[in-house]
Amino acid sequence: MKPITIGVLSYQGTVIEHIKALSQLEGVTPMEVKTLPALQAVDGLILPGGESTTIAKLLNIFELMEPLRQRILDGMPVWGTCAGEILLAKEIIGEEPHLGVMDFSVRRNAYGRQIDSFTQYAPITGISETPVELVFIRAPWIESVGEKAQVICQVNGHAVAAKQDNMLATSFHPEFTQDLTVHRWFAQQIEQYKYR
Ligand code: GLN
């Protein structure tokens, strides 16, 4: 794999977990991103899990919301896990959207209280035919999808991952497992984008 730098938006949430996963991939330099120069330095970006409202607030305070949206629209590969998926959604049920770049609507905390955290196994179309360990923590699900996005994973009848051009969103947290499949796939997308 040729050298690439993958950023992790580092205001709040599963930052360390993503950095640890990325640092196990050959050719990948992980980098924390909080500022505009850091955003400009990375070849691709992960939006971690956490609290989407908090992360959105900090994106606005650091004046990174617009530059980030622009880099995504310019083609930079981006992957949002859980809260990150919510940040990417065009529509959030009952709330205003944040980045609003992916053509689907999400329902926050969709699984309710009793089963707000659980693990499942399912294949992810285009990423892994073998079922992957999926960890859900107060997760959203994808309620409905527009024409531009494609559902690539379903669990118990609900869409939990989608792809659209350079963007990937997952309701679950591969960074909380030992399985590097999704991180490796994302790194390959970034390599192709950087050395195209
Ligand atoms: N419940 C959080 C939110 O709505 C997401 C949880 C997570 O990222 N694990 O932002």
- Split at pLDDT 50, 70, 90, the class of 114 is low
| Residue 126 · residue 152 · CB < 8 Å | yes
Q: Is 147 annotated as a binding residue?
A: no
pLDDT band at 168 (very low <50, low <70, confident <90, very high): very high
DSSP 127: T
Give the mean pLDDT of 39-55: 98
Q: Which atom of ligand 1 is nearest to the CA of 50?
A: 8
How confident is the model at residue 116, as a pLDDT?
A: 85
63 CA → ligand 1 middle, Å = 22
Give the global pTM.
0.98
* Averaged pLDDT, 21-39: 98
Backbone angles phi, psi at 192, to 5 degrees: -65, -35
Q: Give me the mean pLDDT over the 123-140 stretch.
A: 98
113 phi, psi to nearest 5 deg = -80, -45
pLDDT bracket for residue 11 (50, 70, 90): very high
CA of 136 to the centre of ligand 1 (A): 9
Q: What is the DSSP letter of 175?
A: G
pLDDT at residue 91, rounded to an integer: 98
The mean predicted confidence, pLDDT, of the chain is 97
108 labelled ligand-binding: yes
